[in-house]
Amino acid sequence: MARKSMTLIALVSRALAFPAWVNEDVMARALSSTNSAWTEGLRQLSLQDPLGVSRGESNCGIIPCPSFDEKDAFVSITGEHEYMAPTESDIRGPCPGLNAAANHGYLPRNGIASIEQTVAGLGALYNLGPTLTTALAVYAVLITGNPLEGVWSIGGPLPTDPLTSALLGNGQGLSYSHNNYEGDASIGRNDIYLGGGDAHSLNVTKFEHAYSVGGDEDRYTMDKFRQHFGSVQQESIATNPYYFSGGAFGPFIVVPAAYNFVINLMSNHSAEEPSGYLDGYNFKSFFGITGEPGNFKWQRGQERVPENWYRRSSARPYDIEDIPIDALIGYLGYPNTLLLGGNTGTVNSFTGVDFNDLTGGVLNAQTLFEGNNFACFTYQLLEQGIPNFSTGLLNDLKPITDLLNSAIGPFLGGLSCPQFGQFNTGIFDHFPGHSYSPTGPDTNY
Ligand code: HEM
């Protein structure tokens, strides 16, 4: 990168008051790979106008995707990637992106994947970046998978493994990872209390509400989905006495991130719209929905990659820095969606807790948004969510925890994060939704 360009990047970055971690490296990566659409996108961005930033964000992120390259964006859905519905013994779960990947053989069709298979498969299908994918997969292996074998389940429980079960219990899969990975106020899944323990099956009425956000123009955007997230949260507060949005990676980051994933990863791409567009046709296909509004049907386990669908550009993978950027833009643009707390056993009883109390005085609601703090907080939630395995096991698990450190370490190392102690999650004890944890029906999907 020429020196002159770096200076320009620094100036533009400062003038637009980006969060500090949208640093010169991120900019340089974008600039080296894109064209004038990049500067046009930048013009629209300013954290001094958070709503404007949210409204201006493309379906490919704050830095629009470069021009469309059909060969690069092509995704095979024939041959080994032909769509096949899961068999009875296969596993599917709460994540339509993973279910579709397994139905097309981008993840193992049985729904149980290693970290390497996850990185390769989701990279090929969606251009989900390797660092983020590693972090998400490692977290899944450690909190809900089989850490001794290094695999995880995209839905229901893993097959019993006598060795692992004896030491660590049997991995319950994403479907039963409530408050660690899965959380309330999802796009299409029930809050776990309202679903009687089932938070992985699609609620068609909920999907229909999300679908209506596309409006007459039949287009879904980051901003529309951020507003919709606020509506779903309010609906949860008004209907679910156990609604909980606590200080853990799942409820606080993964749930809003899933809204952003729909736009960033399920959008179709074309020469006319290189940053992508999402319409009802593509949205329905990825969510396994057939029919029209009023008579939608969810075909359980049948999420599929649409015909003629092109993924985001490999010049702009969706990676580790994009999660906190998009969550931050959402929380700044729509501050009422920044909910840390829960209902206290009756509907409409939402009580918030202080970031100050959670972080032992390291951050408060104000400083959370200063400098790199939000990105630091995001990945601190992930790290602190990982169970403290007994020391005898640590050696066996070291390769996996090393993988996590090597994935997120360099990113966090560049941020000069404040020193966090163990988060004080005891402040959530009086919320019934914090401890509510039914095992749910023991089904594969
Ligand atoms: C290793 C990678 C991934 C993991 C571990 C993962 C995990 C999860 C989990 C735990 C949920 C439930 C969250 C909730 O309660 O709302 C979820 C939901 C969701 N995920 Fe993923 N996911 C991954 C990749 C993807 C990808 C690549 C996409 C998009 C292409 C995606 C799109 C979604 C969507 C749209 C939802 C919300 C579904 C709904 O509420 O109906 N995810 N994912």
- C-alpha 312/C-alpha 59 separation (Å) is 9
pLDDT of residue 394: 66
- C-alpha 216/C-alpha 237 separation (Å) is 29
Q: 254 C-alpha vs ligand 1 centroid, how far in Å?
A: 8
Please indicate whether residue 133, judged by its CB atom, sits closer than 6 Å to ligand 1.
yes
pLDDT of residue 390: 58
- C-alpha 183/C-alpha 256 separation (Å) is 10
Tell me which residue has its CA closest to atom 42 in ligand 1.
97
Please indicate whether residue 98, judged by its CB atom, sits closer than 6 Å to ligand 1.
yes
- C-alpha 225/C-alpha 294 separation (Å) is 21
User: Closest Cα partner for 73 from 321, 305, 323, 325?
Assistant: 305
Tokens 């049907």, residue? 297
Q: Ligand 1, residues 59, 98, 194, 222: which to mutate, most atoms within 8 A of Cβ?
A: 98
pLDDT of residue 245: 95
Q: 32 C-alpha vs ligand 1 centroid, how far in Å?
A: 30
- C-alpha 440/C-alpha 192 separation (Å) is 9
Q: 190 C-alpha vs ligand 1 centroid, how far in Å?
A: 14
Encode burial over 407-417: b for 16+ CB neighbours within 10 A, e otherwise. Answer: bbeebbeebeb
* Helix, coil or strand: residue 30: helix
Burial environment of residue 87 by CB neighbours within 10 A (0 to 12, 13 to 18, 19 or more): exposed
Q: What angle do CA 439, 441, 443 make, to 5 degrees?
A: 120
Q: 364 C-alpha vs ligand 1 centroid, how far in Å?
A: 28
Domains annotated for the chain, with CATH where assigned, are 70-435 (1.10.489.10)
**Three-state DSSP string of 277-337:** EECHHHHHHHCCEECCCCCCEECCCCCCCCCCCECCCCCCCECCCHHHHHHHHHHHHCHHH
pLDDT of residue 70: 97
- Amino acid letter at 255? V
Question: Cβ distance 115 to 142 under 8 Å?
Answer: no
- C-alpha 232/C-alpha 210 separation (Å) is 9
User: Closest Cα partner for 341 from 270, 254, 252?
Assistant: 252
User: Closest Cα partner for 96 from 285, 319, 275, 233?
Assistant: 285
List Cβ neighbours of 216 (8 Å cut-off, separation of 6 or more): none
HSE value, Cβ hemisphere, 13 Å, CA-based, for 181: 28
Q: 90 C-alpha vs ligand 1 centroid, how far in Å?
A: 18
- What counts of helices (H) and strands (E) characterise the chain? 19, 7
Would you give per-residue pLDDT tens digits along the chain (445 residues)?
333 344 444 444 443 445 554 544 555 554 444 333 333 333 344 456 778 888 888 999 877 787 899 999 999 999 999 999 999 999 999 999 999 999 999 999 999 999 999 999 999 999 999 999 999 999 999 999 999 899 999 999 998 877 777 777 788 899 999 999 999 999 999 999 999 999 999 999 999 999 999 999 999 999 999 999 999 999 999 999 999 998 899 999 999 999 999 999 999 999 999 999 999 999 999 999 999 999 999 999 999 999 999 999 998 899 998 898 888 889 888 999 999 999 999 999 999 999 999 999 999 988 888 878 888 999 999 999 987 765 566 677 888 988 999 999 988 888 889 999 999 999 999 999 999 987 766 677 8
DSSP designation for 220: B
Q: Ligand 1, residues 95, 220, 299: which to mutate, most atoms within 8 A of Cβ?
A: 95
pLDDT of residue 6: 42
CB atoms within 10 A of CB 272: 7
* Helix, coil or strand: residue 268: strand
